[in-house]
Amino acid sequence: LSFDEAAFCEPAACAIHCLDRIQPQPGDDIIIFGAGPAGIILTQILKCNGAGNIIVCAPSRDKLDIIENMNIAKTVLFHKNDYLRHETVIKSRFPKGFDIIIEATGSSQVAGHCFSYAKRGSKIVFYGVCDKAGEIKINPYQIFIDEIKIIGSFAQTHCFDRAIQYLESGTVKVNNLITHTFNLDEYGKAIDAVADGRCLKAIIHP
């Protein structure tokens, strides 16, 4: 592995742990909210493990373009101030809902929105890191009658070896996720670039 590729071992390991937690079935239709590095890596891993249709929904057209260029999923632009716009588009394509719904943004508001796409037997996965004090409204009857499973996926458990295999084999591609590189003495600039949303993944070279 190159230095840059090795920097993705941890997020790849987290994605593999999520795969283990979800245990998707071949052909499952999946929607992922969030197109950061973690979401894109998870999309690739789900795709190569037999997922059916995958939709990635995010507010950044640039990030969605990366996904489309990789040909790993279909994309829908997420409208932060008008959920009905993207919800209408998604439900016109998948009126019955999804087998797996993944929240990978870390937004409690988006986490609550995930229930809108559930169907009987769906799995709703909280993969993004939401605020510790965040709260969402849920309908217990929906969970009961549709037998919905709610799954949390935190960090990784003994998945680094598999992560390295995915990266070394090229099954998971990460070089196109690096949008900014910095020298060690430019650490502050790297933090600023990440904080203001200008980059997808920043790499600091020693």
pLDDT for position 198: 72
pTM for the complete prediction? 0.95
Q: What pLDDT sits at residue 196? A: 83
Question: Domains in the chain, ordered, with CATH?
Answer: 3-152 (3.40.50.720), 176-206 (no CATH)
Query: What is the predicted pLDDT for the residue at 27?
Result: 98
pLDDT at 110: 97
Residues of the chain with pLDDT under 50: none
Closest CA to 201 of 176, 177, 173: 177
- Residue 162: the pLDDT is 97
In whole angstroms, give the CA distance from residue 21 to residue 44: 16
**What percent of the chain has pLDDT above 90?**
94
